[in-house]
């Protein structure tokens, strides 16, 4: 069993040995017990939020327009109605305060070619909870290139209005426009897509070392099928996408940077917080246990977002900057969000599904000065991204490992 390192634990009640670090350093402890339920708390350190920054760049509108002209445009509702896969669950996930769950079909449940990562819902897109009149969930998958072709990222569109427990779904492919206005094309988006966030017509996808890629649902295209290895515009003028029927194009990018000597932030997850004013985006970074043990920082930030144009919101000086930032030093964080000022972090804890202590943990942090509290084994093995649905108080997450890929929600207020 792998134990995790947690700084600044309050461990007196656990009878653990405490080693005091030098002034200004975190307090190290013996590993805490892997029992379920809330346990010892850690401290977070507040950082200078304005040192985390973003710069916007947009895809050529002429190039996007050329593809609009070349390809049939469809709506997200039409894609949901065109679902071609039906999920089936062999068992229910063991999740604390579970309120909902569903799975994938057998092929997606077990494949090693694609791994699910990020999750967002139509309650992120609009406060009413629906998009095109439907309650939808989106999940990102990255390609393992098992066939030697890196197809990039696909998005599962699950229609929960059709069925809450077995929502029919279809995959669409993310693409980046390329070529010229006279011969427009597109290529795959080769990133990890560890987190996604839906806001109005825009889908934000975390780019681990680059910030965010942004995709516009107002430009959702139907393409030709039948060629599993073809991508983009072909010699005969047809457009293909590895046999996927629909593609969603990148239309903007937010490239991150830092000031004040801060190291670049690793964009491992992203989530929308509709409970803040203004609405905001929560970003957290993944660091392995060995990296944390070697001194790597683990940080989470909040960035305001503008509901009028769906872009990250610049400060009065015109610079897009975070407004809240913390160092948590939690290892293996796969997802995060915030609800009414309280942060939530999902943490993976190994891949041995036969060991209950490999189940994912959930951590809560009442900012700015509350403790970080561990809710042990609250999530499934391979727990990934988080997304909050305020219309039902659902905290959504999902599992990534083949055979254990539930998509599930817990009652957020119960933590």
Task: Give per-residue pLDDT as tens, 162-220.
Answer: 999 999 999 999 999 999 999 999 999 999 999 999 999 999 999 999 999 999 999 99
d(CA 412, CA 393): 6
pTM: 0.90
pLDDT of residue 145: 82
pLDDT of residue 25: 31
pLDDT of residue 23: 32
Task: Give per-residue pLDDT as tens, 279-310.
Answer: 999 999 999 999 999 999 999 999 999 999 99
Whether residue 278 is predicted with pLDDT greater than 90 in this model: the reply is: yes
Instruction: Kindly list the structural domains of the chain, giving each domain's residue range(s) and its CATH number in brackets, ordered by start.
Output: 12-414 (2.115.10)
Task: Give per-residue pLDDT as tens, 341-363.
Answer: 999 999 998 777 767 778 999 99
Task: Give per-residue pLDDT as tens, 137-158.
Answer: 999 999 998 888 999 999 999 9
Whether residue 132 is predicted with pLDDT greater than 60 in this model: the reply is: yes
Query: DSSP characters for 291-329?
Result: HHHTT---EEEEEEB-TTTSSBPB-TTS-EE-SEEEE--
DSSP state of 145: -
Better-predicted residue by pLDDT, 8 or 44: 44
**Contact status, residue 220 vs residue 75, Cβ threshold 8 Å:** yes
DSSP state of 14: G
Please state, as a whole number, how many other Cβ atoms lie within 10 Å of the Cβ of residue 134.
18
């Amino acid at each position: 069993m792998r134990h995790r390192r947690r700084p600044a634990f309050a461990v007196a009640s656990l009878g653990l040995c405490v080693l005091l670090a030098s002034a200004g350093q975190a307090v190290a402890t013996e590993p805490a017990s892997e029992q379920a339920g809330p346990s010892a708390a850690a401290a977070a350190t507040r950082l200078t939020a304005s040192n985390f920054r973003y710069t916007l760049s947009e895809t050529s509108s002429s190039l996007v327009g050329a593809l609009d002209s070349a390809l049939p445009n469809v709506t997200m509702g039409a894609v949901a109605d065109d679902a071609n896969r039906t999920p089936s669950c062999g068992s229910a996930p063991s999740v604390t305060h579970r309120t909902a769950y569903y799975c994938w079909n057998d092929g997606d449940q077990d494949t090693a070619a694609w791994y699910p990562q990020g999750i967002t819902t139509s309650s992120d897109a609009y406060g009413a909870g629906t998009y095109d009149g439907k309650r939808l969930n989106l999940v990102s998958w990255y390609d393992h290139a098992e066939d030697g072709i890196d197809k990039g990222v696909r998005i599962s569109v699950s229609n929960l209005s059709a069925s809450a427990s077995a929502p029919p779904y279809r995959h669409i492919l993310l693409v980046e426009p390329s070529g010229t206005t006279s011969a427009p094309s597109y290529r795959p988006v080769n990133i990890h897509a560890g987190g996604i966030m839906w806001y109005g017509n825009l889908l934000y996808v975390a780019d681990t070392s680059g910030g965010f890629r942004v995709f516009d649902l107002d430009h959702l295209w139907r393409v030709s099928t039948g060629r599993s290895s073809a991508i983009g515009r072909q010699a005969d003028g047809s457009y293909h996408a590895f046999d996927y029927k629909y593609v969603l194009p990148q239309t903007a990018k937010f490239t991150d940077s830092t000031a004040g000597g801060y190291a670049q932030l690793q964009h491992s997850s992203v989530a929308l917080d509709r409970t803040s004013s203004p609405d905001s985006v929560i970003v957290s970074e993944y660091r392995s246990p060995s990296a944390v043990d070697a001194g790597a920082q683990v940080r989470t930030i909040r960035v305001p977002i503008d509901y009028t144009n769906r872009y990250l919101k610049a400060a009065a000086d015109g610079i897009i900057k975070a407004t809240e930032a913390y160092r948590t030093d939690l290892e293996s964080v796969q997802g995060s969000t915030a609800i009414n000022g309280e942060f939530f972090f999902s943490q993976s804890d190994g891949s041995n599904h036969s060991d209950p202590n490999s189940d994912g943990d959930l951590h809560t942090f009442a900012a700015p000065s509350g403790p970080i509290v561990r809710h042990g084994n609250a999530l499934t093995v391979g727990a990934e991204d988080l997304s909050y649905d305020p219309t039902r108080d659902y905290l959504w997450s999902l599992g990534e490992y083949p055979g254990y890929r539930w998509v599930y929600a817990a009652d957020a207020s119960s933590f």
